[in-house]
Structure 1
Amino acid sequence: MVPSEEGILTNLRRGALEYCVLASLRGGASYGRDIARQLSTDGVLMSGEGTLYPLLARLRKSGLVETHWQESASGPPRRYYALTGEGERALEVFIRVWSPFRSAVDSSLGEGEQ
């Protein structure tokens, strides 16, 4: 049985999405919905908000992000997420290994030979 595109994307997202979330927080704290908008603009990294909040909770429990509540002029208080020092270090490690990994995949697929 040939896997579907969505199945392949799901597997690829599983390994990379948390680091994309961490990268989205490099510029400072952000509200969950803003993170979702940033990562779902093309529908490739994230297809909806359903996976984001459980992922943010795991990142918080593992000490990679911290949260604080902030009042909102347009509704109830919002939870903002920010990188911790440990989150910054995890992102740095991912960035170091990502490029050679991506190059190896591109090479094996024949993409790097053009």
Structure 2
Amino acid sequence: MSRPLTGLSAWLVQRLSAIYMALFTIAAVVLFTLVPLDDYGAWHALWQRPVVSAATALFFVALLLHSWVGIRDVILDYAGWSTSLRLTLLALVGAWLLILGFWMLEILLTVVSPWN
């Protein structure tokens, strides 16, 4: 059985994901500034690079984890004393983040597919 994401581990996930997302954003801005991406072929070639697609996938994993920790803390702090309300809200947010994660995975796999 795994341990829940609380205390120091939740704090570390929040901070490390924020650092990675900031570095990824800076790298993306620099890349888009320096590399001319004038047409579909250039964009497609960019996303075919394993480093770019893996870094992007890791960005979205970090984004989902960062979102989960932040929204979970807000729900636990402000959703009142009702345990059933908290569990319902946490389940809805968790399901929504999972749906978004699978949707992004589908998009990334479609983009890096050799059949496109």
Q: Same fold (TM over 0.5)?
A: no
Q: TM-score range by the shorter chain?
A: 0.3 to 0.5
- Whose Rg is larger? 2
- Name the TM-score, length of structure 1 as normaliser: 0.32
Q: Which structure's residues are more often helix, by fraction?
A: 2
- Say which structure, 1 or 2, has more relative contact order (CA 8 Å, 6+ apart): 2
